[in-house]
Amino acid sequence: MTLVRRFNNQVPDIANIFDDFFGGDFFGAPVRQGRKTSTPAVNVMENEDEYVIEVAAPGMKKDDFKVEVNNGVLSISAEMEEKDEQKDEEKGYTRREFCYSSFNRSFAIPKNEVDEGKIDASYKDGLLKIKLQKREEIKPKPARMIEIK
């Protein structure tokens, strides 16, 4: 994405209108029946015990997703298909519309930090949440008192 400097004029510049139409987000994110298809937003967080990846994907079902780990790479992908068909035999027409959307995101996993056997995923209210548990040996240990003899 390119940053474009805009001046706060009341009348839009004709060059900006053409830039927005031919080179901006107009072609980068197609709109189909009110659905904007693009790569979903992702949050990556870390705490003492785990890494958490959140993928904002409203309107999808958990069966639309595929999450896998291969050679230290976590891949998240999804495919969704929508079909809409309307028939009116009296007027003699059929209207069919199809919309396919998909995305694929990959993340390198720190091999020495994450236990690949302890990765969990859940999907609720439009949010896919993946938890990657850290290995016990890298988790911060609390300070311990050493007795002086």
Regarding pTM above 0.85, the answer is no
The set of residues, in sequence order, having a beta carbon less than 8 Å from that of 82 and lying 6+ positions away, is 33, 35, 98, 99, 100
Maximum Cα–Cα distance for the chain, whole Å?
98
Looking at 1.10.10.10, 2.60.40.790, 3.40.50.2300, 3.40.50.150, the CATH number of the domain 35-137 comes to 2.60.40.790
Task: Tell me the H-state helices in the chain.
Answer: 14-23, 25-28
Mean pLDDT for the chain overall = 78
Q: Stretch 57-69: mean pLDDT, rounded?
A: 90
Residue with more model confidence, 45 or 94: 45
Instruction: Give the separation between CA 76 and CA 87, rounded to whole angstroms.
Output: 37
Query: Does residue 78 contact residue 64 with C-beta atoms inside 8 Å?
Result: yes
Q: Record the tokens describing residue 17, joined without a space.
A: 């209108």
Q: Record the tokens describing residue 74, joined without a space.
A: 């976590």
pLDDT value at position 83? 81
List, for residues 127-141, the tens digit of each pLDDT value: 999 999 998 888 778
Query: Does residue 74 contact residue 67 with C-beta atoms inside 8 Å?
Result: yes
Phi-psi category of residue 33: left, alpha or beta, with phi > 0 → left and psi -120 to 50 → alpha:
left
Instruction: Give the separation between CA 67 and CA 53, rounded to whole angstroms.
Output: 12
Q: Stretch 12-28: mean pLDDT, rounded?
A: 47
